[in-house]
Amino acid sequence: MATKPPPLYRGAPEQIVTPYAEPDPLMGASASIFARSSALSERVARTRAQSRVVRQQAWEHRLRSKAIRDQSAALKERFDDGVLGATPDDGVPWFSLAGVLGDRNVWARWAHGSLRCHPDLMTQARLLVELGTVFEHHDPPARVAATVTGAPAAVMMTLARACDRVVVVDFPRTSPL
């Protein structure tokens, strides 16, 4: 049978204390430090996760702000009531287009190298040009960049793509379109 360790005397002989009766003060301090460091580690992990979310939101806001700024600059650009002139005609005497953009009816007319159109349609078409939109056809292979000042076929495709819905496209039967 195991025997108990002998009692220790501290100070007065009436104060008998066994060696394992009180926990070691260093052990208590160590446990306290460990608990605080665990709490701080959890807090750091939460803060890092929150900072990643905030960083993502800031990036999205910055991107949205840049898009709004670019669109605003396009809207503020002088447009002369939707008239563009001195464009090549490639044998196309005229074409016209009617469509819907948002909740508005829009129109465009190309006649002898001059384009007249609704200002909202022109703004949307210019945004397509600025974004570098390219129209591709696979058979026969063809790539046409969006434009509002180039060949009539490219201008017509750009204006049609700028509409939410195209209602009418009209051109002479003899034209190469």
Q: Tell me the pLDDT tens digit for each residue of 86-140.
A: 455 567 788 999 999 999 999 999 888 888 999 999 989 999 998 899 988 888 8
Mean pLDDT comparison of 10-19, 52-61, 168-177, highest-scoring range: 52-61
Query: How do the domains of the chain map onto residue ranges?
Result: 1-76, 80-170
User: Would the pLDDT of 10 be above 90?
Assistant: no
Can you count the helices (H) and strands (E) in the chain? 3, 9
Rounded to two decimals, what is the model's pTM? 0.52
**Contact partners, residue 52, CB within 8 Å, separation at least 6:** none
SS3 helix, strand, coil % of the chain, rounded to 5? Answer: 45, 25, 30
Distances (CA, A) of 22 to 45, 85, 96, 171: 36, 97, 97, 100
CA-wise closest residue to 124 among 163, 81, 69, 166:
163
Instruction: Round to whole Å and give the CA distance between 76 and 67.
Output: 14
Q: Tell me the pLDDT tens digit for each residue of 47-76.
A: 999 999 999 999 999 988 888 887 777 666
Provide the pLDDT for residue 86.
Answer: 45
> Sorting pLDDT into bands at 50, 70 and 90, what band is 26?
confident
